[in-house]
Amino acid sequence: MRKFILALPAVISALLLWAAFPPMGEVACVAMALVPLLAVARLCAPGRSAALWAVGGFLFWFGTLSWMPAIIKNNGPWPLVVLGWAGLAALCAGYFALFGWLAARVWRRWGRWGIAAEPVLWAGCEWLRATLFTGFAWNFLGTAVGQTPALAVPARLGGVYLVSALVVMVNGVFATLVCRIIAQMRREPQVAACRWKRSMETALPLGTVLLAFWFSQPHARDRGSEPVTPVRVALVQRNAPCIFSSGKLREDPLAVYGRLLDVAVPARPDLIVWGESAMAEFGRVDSTAARRVAAHFSNELGGAALLAGGDWVSNGRYHNAAALYSGTNAAVQCYGKQHLVPFGEFIPLDKWIPLLQRLSPIGVSLWPGEATVFRLPLNREGGDASVAIAPLICYEDTDPALARKASRLGAQALVLITNDSWFSRSCEPVQHAEQAVLRAIETGLPVIRVGNSGVTGVIAGDGRAKWLSDGNGKPLVDASGTMVETVPVPSGPTPTPYTRLGDWPMLALSAAAVFFAMLKGRDHVRKECGI
């Protein structure tokens, strides 16, 4: 019973944090989710703090990744799936434990300065999680806030990591109040001379949050006044079985796409977008057969370009690719996915130990590609206008660095294609779609997104999303449909501060916080103002 009571802060934090993300999507929970564990970091020794943060982290990640077993019904071996589920949850929980240990050290060594260090320590741990060992950039705290885009506007200044830091700062204010209540319940002495300091512990974090919003607003307003080029897009969500499914496609793919695109013919779109791996049924993306298919649908829709995913071999290396077909001869521009998924698209060390490549679930070890910007010719009579679009594939919309790189290369819009059908009938497609909202806010660029089984839609540069709907106001998932939309693409987008500066300012602050956490100092816990 005593152990359960000691673990209660971890359980409460895990439940609140889980509720902040889809399928619940209760954004307000994120403002209080970390309060119990932040109080633990302030009142407990670093070792105990790390242990409780690890428990809370594992419970949260095991819950929020509950979509992983969905792959079992698509021929995923259940022992490996369950092992991977638990292993990934444990790995991510390790970053929670690291934060809990560092935060406790800061509070014990530097007292009230901990309230300034906590946000940047958290941002640093999120960055490490997104970077080390190819990274797992999923469900940052700031991603939950992106469900209400107006609250995520500081991402223009410092990316999703700044939004996460601000969330931790708000949680820290409530944790301070909790610690004071605990001190009063214990009847610990309060120092009258510290009252003004106690007030500043509340006022300064809240003031910092308000300043972040204040400095991000002018840039947001400027975005709304930029000249734009309207681009008509036809987004096709086919809902084909994934490559691991035991079911075989029995429909003629040309007939299926033809039927889905019938509604787009009157709109004369500039661009047709299919999902990841859509061209695999016709051949490699640069094959003659794929070009013929692209030319067929281009003619059917009055000269529209087609962007679709498939296999591509370049210099003897296999890539998960996206291709843009344009013109009467279906000229092709190709892009190889940069951020590959370990154990899905390659096996670690398989380039040095070729025998490991036999373990790849797709039968081949893929190579990473390079950032690319396509020139999309617009379907206009008597003109040669074009816009620059940057393709991203599947998991790449979770990686802030890739979207920022595309923006710096001159992209005017991002186009994301994915295939989440191996997680069919789960909350994974909706969670995945929410990741892309922050990429739009960070870069200020519209994101055009097509999922084979969902979620499909368009995200404006301010984060407002319009999804292909099921008729009840919810994103269409595990069903087919077509969305025709006009996207206002900025003609000459001004880079956001985050595009220009990247993560270096936040990382420098995080490194400084870690440095001070490791320094020796006196024990401040419960010695100042009852904390």
Burial class for 5, CB neighbours closer than 10 Å (0-12, 13-18, 19+): exposed
* Nearest-angstrom CA–CA distance, 130 and 142: 13
**Contact (CB, 8 A) for 226 and 491:** yes
Angle, vertex CA 444, rays to CA 443 and CA 450, nearest 5:
85
Can you give the residue ranges of every domain in the chain?
Answer: 2-223+503-518, 229-487
Q: Which residues contact 225 (CB under 8 A, 6 or more apart)?
A: none
* Nearest-angstrom CA–CA distance, 21 and 431: 7
Residue pLDDT tens, the chain, 531 long: 556 677 899 999 999 999 999 999 999 999 999 999 999 999 999 999 999 999 999 999 999 999 999 988 877 788 888 999 999 999 999 999 999 999 999 998 887 778 889 999 999 999 999 999 889 999 999 999 999 999 999 999 999 999 999 999 999 999 988 888 887 777 655 544 456 566 667 778 888 888 888 888 765 566 556 799 999 999 999 999 876 554 555 678 999 999 999 999 999 999 999 999 999 989 999 999 999 999 999 999 999 999 999 999 999 899 999 999 998 778 899 999 999 988 878 888 877 887 777 777 666 789 999 999 999 999 776 667 899 999 999 999 999 999 999 999 999 999 999 999 989 899 999 999 999 999 999 999 999 999 999 899 999 999 999 999 988 889 999 999 999 999 999 998 999 999 999 999 999 999 999 998 888 665 655 444 344
Please report where in the chains the tokens 């595009």 appear, as a residue.
499
**Amino acid, single-letter form, for residue 163:** V
* Nearest-angstrom CA–CA distance, 364 and 381: 44
- Could you give the maximum distance between any two Cα atoms of the chain, in Å? 81
| pTM greater than 0.85 | yes
Q: Which residues contact 352 (CB under 8 A, 6 or more apart)?
A: none
**Contact (CB, 8 A) for 325 and 298:** yes
* Nearest-angstrom CA–CA distance, 246 and 75: 7
CATH topology of domain 229-487: Nitrilase/N-carbamoyl-D-aminoacid amidohydrolase (3.60.110)
* Nearest-angstrom CA–CA distance, 65 and 67: 5
Neighbours of 442 (CB within 10 A): 29
* Nearest-angstrom CA–CA distance, 233 and 240: 21
DSSP codes, 130-182? HHGGG------HHHHHTTSGGGGTTHHHHHHHHHHHHHHHHHHHHHHHHHHHH
Alpha carbon separation from 276 to 147, 238, 239, 307, 453 (Å, rounded): 24, 11, 11, 10, 10
Please report where in the chains the tokens 């994934």 appear, as a residue.
242
Q: Which residues contact 70 (CB under 8 A, 6 or more apart)?
A: 422, 423, 424, 425, 426, 428
* Ramachandran assignment for 223, one of left (phi > 0), alpha (psi -120 to 50 degrees), beta (any other): alpha
Helix-, strand-, coil-residue percentages of the chain, each rounded to 5 = 55, 15, 30
Structure tokens at 287: 């094959």
